[in-house]
Amino acid sequence: MAYMNWSDDLSVQINEIDEQHKKLVSQINALHDGMRSGKGKDALEKTLKELAEYTQYHFGTEEKYMKKFGYPDYEKHKKEHDAFVAKVVDFQDSFSSGKLGLSIDVMKFLSGWITGHIKGTDKNYIDCFRENGVA
């Protein structure tokens, strides 16, 4: 059973970004599955690293469009992205050094942040992106 499920209420109605969001959900599920099945530290580190790298790639896509279209809340949105990336990097560092184990609290943070960000902040750029031809 998936830890986090994609649902239509997470859609921003922009195919490229919805596909990227689905991949983020999939990566959170992979991390959770690895944690639950007792995969070793190396495997979990690899999955966490992939999540961090893909998150940065995805945020880059959104930010590229925001800058291109002069999205008015770009700076605020970018600050949220930067704070999340910093938190995930902190998880990576703490996990790698043995200071943090992957726990349900980490999973709740990741899934809660992604869900809240998509349903809140991301939904705000839909009109701007669509008006500029991103579908």
Higher pLDDT, 97 or 20: 20
pLDDT at 129: 97
CA distance 99 to 11: 36
Q: Evaluate whether residue 4 is within a structural domain.
A: no
Q: Evaluate whether residue 127 is within a structural domain.
A: yes
Rounded alpha-carbon distances, angstroms, from residue 41 to 2, 38, 48, 132: 21, 9, 10, 44
pLDDT at 91: 87
Question: Does position 68 have pLDDT exceeding 80, yes or no?
Answer: yes
Q: Evaluate whether residue 117 is within a structural domain.
A: yes
pTM: 0.92
Q: Evaluate whether residue 3 is within a structural domain.
A: no
Q: DSSP state, 10?
A: G
Confidence at 38, pLDDT banded by 50, 70, 90: confident
35's CB contacts (< 8 A; 6+ apart) are: 44, 102, 103, 107
- Is the Cβ–Cβ distance between 118 and 10 less than 8 Å? yes
Q: How is residue 14 written in tokens?
A: 């922009």
Question: Does position 133 have pLDDT exceeding 80, yes or no?
Answer: yes
Q: Evaluate whether residue 112 is within a structural domain.
A: yes
Q: Which residue range is the domain that position 78 belongs to?
A: 13-131
* Total number of domains in the chain: 1
Q: Evaluate whether residue 6 is within a structural domain.
A: no
Tell me the pLDDT of the chain averaged across its residues. 93
pLDDT at 95: 84
